[in-house]
Amino acid sequence: MHTLPATLLETLVHATARAIGCPENEAGEMARHLVGANLAGHDSHGVGMLPDYVRLADVGLLVPGHEPETVLDMPALKILDAGRGVGQWMAKRAMDIAVDGAREAGCCTLALRNSSHVGRIGHYAEQCAREGMVSIHFVNVADHAPLQAPFGCSDPRLGTNPFAVGLPGEDGPALVLDMATSAIAFGKARVARNKGVPVPAGALLDADGHPTTDPTVYVDTRKGALRSFGEHKGSGLAIVCEMLGGGLSGGLTIHPDHERRDGIVNSMLSIVIDAARLGGNRPFAQEVEAIKDYIRQSRIAPGFDEILMPGEPEARSRAKRGRDGIPIDARSLDDILAAARQAGTDAAVIAEVEAARS
């Protein structure tokens, strides 16, 4: 394992994004987002995505320098087509527009269709919460073979279809629930393979539909499937994410009638609500804190050390990794640097990372 400072990784992502043709605003957003995911503890959606982005840009499946196109612009209902533009920039712009819409109309439903990979969905829930907005996000993942086996299936039929909710507090996000609807995100299986460790029991099926904890065959050959989390309930949410994130948005869905070009296409249906317009006698932010406190006052269940709220593991990770640096396994760092070289990233930046790892 290597431990690198967040600032150095941000410089590497930024320089690589510039090298593949991203203008300054997109490169900055991609770098902050990917390193932000590592800081939050989600290495699956951090700088380890860079080799995929370089590959996708190389074959025209990620389009730098593209702005989202407005398809529908009603006060409380909007559609943007991202045309495979840089996901972090597309989704940031979409949330700017949805927040403005919710401020004006009280709430705004925005469908962002056909974006290249948007990354960690909680990032956008946090963006909305900083503006005083509640937000709910249904996301599908298309343009490649399915990865997730819904409840009762031996075969994969869905992507890892994430779902997120953000609640605003008095000073920034008060609670962020952000999760893949598969038991683990695909990137977590990739990170486990790179580290040479098993995935949690119940997360993976082998090619014959039997449970396995070895990620190697699955990550290298895609034979097998990630299981939905939470039995039939998580599976149901994964299916709803496909229908709303992909289908209702008018983006690509996982159905084989749609094209599959081996890219990563996210479509996201976001419902953004101005929290100040709703709620009862007690301001919403105070109600949220009161409910969190009430839950925390429960006796701790056997086998647990503490009671955490959604979003707390990420906040703790940010504090620790911001202080100590971001751990990256050698194989992932090799892959990232190889992709950076292939993209033509500034050699001085690559040399700086090489020096920091040794």
Residues forming contacts to ligand NAD in the complex (CB under 6 A) are: 42, 44-45, 117-122, 141, 160, 162, 164, 176-180, 184-185, 188, 266, 308, 310-311, 313-314
Q: CB of residue 9 vs ligand NAD: minimum separation in angstroms? A: 18
Closer by beta carbon to ligand NAD, 122 or else 246: 122
Closer by beta carbon to ligand NAD, 112 or else 349: 112
Q: CB of residue 125 vs ligand NAD: minimum separation in angstroms? A: 9
- E strands along 89-238, which residues? 107-116, 133-142, 148-149, 163-169, 172-179, 204-205, 211-212, 225-227
Q: CB of residue 349 vs ligand NAD: minimum separation in angstroms? A: 26
Closer by beta carbon to ligand NAD, 286 or else 317: 317
Closer by beta carbon to ligand NAD, 15 or else 98: 98
Closer by beta carbon to ligand NAD, 177 or else 243: 177
Q: CB of residue 34 vs ligand NAD: minimum separation in angstroms? A: 12
Sign of CA dihedral 295, 171, 121, 135: positive
Q: CB of residue 355 vs ligand NAD: minimum separation in angstroms? A: 31
Closer by beta carbon to ligand NAD, 11 or else 44: 44
Q: Which of 346, 341, 357 is nearest to 11 (CA)?
A: 346
Closer by beta carbon to ligand NAD, 22 or else 192: 192
Q: CB of residue 146 vs ligand NAD: minimum separation in angstroms? A: 13
Which residues, including other chains, have CB under 8 Å from residue 45's CB and lie 6 or more apart? Answer: 34, 37, 119, 120, 185, 187
Residue whose structure tokens are 């996982």: 254
Closer by beta carbon to ligand NAD, 72 or else 319: 319
Alpha helices in 231-326, H assignment, sequence order: 231-241, 284-296, 312-324
Q: CB of residue 352 vs ligand NAD: minimum separation in angstroms? A: 28
The helix or strand, by DSSP H or E, that contains position 71, with its residue range, turns out to be: strand 69-74
Token pair, residue 187, equals 């990137």
Q: CB of residue 164 vs ligand NAD: minimum separation in angstroms? A: 6
Token pair, residue 44, equals 């699956």
Exposure letters 141-153 (e unless 16+ CB within 10 A, then b): bbbbebbbbbeeb
- Give the three-class secondary structure for 169: strand
Q: Which of 177, 13, 307, 179 is nearest to 188 (CA)?
A: 179
How far is it, in rounded angstroms, from Cα 347 to Cα 88? 25
